Chains A and B, each alone.
Chain A
Amino acid sequence: MVKKTLLATRPNFELTTKYISSWASKALEYAQEKEVVIFDLEKEKANRLTLETTLQEYSPEFVFLNGHGDYDKVCGQDNECLISANNNENILSGRTVYALSCRSAEILGKTAVAKGALAYIGYTEDFIFLYDEQQKQSPLQDKIAQLFLGPSNQVVLSLINGLSAQEASQNSKEHFLANVKKTLTSEAPKEQKGIVRYLLWDRHHQACWEKKQ
């Protein structure tokens, strides 16, 4: 059986990238359990040269980008621009992409698909998450951040399980919604008060663009 292949960029140089990279590692653990071949570009390896070389050499089918971004780009370690619109987005051609990054679905996602990416799932606006100040040293223990980064990981888990990009995005949105409902119940801990609007914001701005058949 041909194994699935996944490349992840996981910069880690301040709090936001520390959180998203830590939580991305959970998705990679799952991928490993499913015998997916993983190319994990962590910290300094999350640079443009290594990304382009690895994509060219191993041609992974899934690309999981973590890092800061803007409407037209996604960044890596120390905010080095990894991929930008009308520049090098053709390196995503033939691949399904999930970018846990602010805003990049708005322009980069569309141009990447126009230039051959099979699908691009990302966020058209800022990805916002809340966290517990007391858990900053151990992001994976943070139950508040989990409400945001758990649903995000569902995109990757769904793709690994063979769902289409649209289905993976829908699945992620359902998990955001499940967490909205959880935080609205009377049993929800007081730490979860007032966070619904941020969960709905991320859900609302997650977009999935696919190449026309």
Chain B
Amino acid sequence: MDVEQNIKNLVIARLEVLSENIGISIGSLGNFSKEELICHVRNGDEVGQKIIEVEMDFLRGLKQGNFYGKENPSGDAA
């Protein structure tokens, strides 16, 4: 099994943990039920890729040991 499929399986396993009544709003991408999200991840479309990105962001944070500390640097823009 290739890496991409492994990642999809991991993300789907995490989504299956969500309660059946949960919906998710992803900005202008729309609102989705748990089952719809699982389909999007399987299809690997834009919504699916976004959910995969969230999961990978979370796992990278865990790996780097900055579960609580990692955040976007705030600062001067001008």
Residues of A within 8 A of B (CB): 15-16, 19, 68-70, 79, 101-103, 109-110, 113-114, 120, 124, 126-134, 136, 144, 166, 169, 173, 177, 180, 190-198, 200-201, 203-212
Contact = CB atoms under 8 A, between A and B. Distances in A.
Residue picked from A169, A177, A200, A212, most chain B C-beta under 10 Å = A200
A198 B76 contact: no
A131 B38 CA distance: 17
B6 interface: no
Nearest to B61: A200
Given A128-B27, A194-B15, A204 B76 contact: no
B17 A128 contact: no
**What 4 A-B pairs come out closest when comparing CB atoms?**
A102-B27, A209-B77, A197-B58, A208-B74
A201 B52 CA distance: 12
A127 B71 CA distance: 14
Contacts of B27: 16, 68-69, 101-103, 126-128
B60 to A, nearest CB: 10
Contacts of A113: 77-78
Given A201-B58, A203-B71, A133 B23 contact: yes
A129 B54 CA distance: 12
22 contacts: A69-B28, A113-B77, A113-B78, A114-B77, A124-B72, A126-B27, A128-B25, A130-B18, A130-B25, A131-B25, A133-B33, A191-B22, A193-B17, A193-B18, A195-B18, A197-B58, A198-B24, A200-B57, A201-B54, A209-B74, A210-B75, A212-B78
Q: Could you say which interface size class chain B belongs to? A: 20 to 34
A82 to B, nearest CB: 14
Given A126-B29, A129-B25, A197 B55 contact: yes
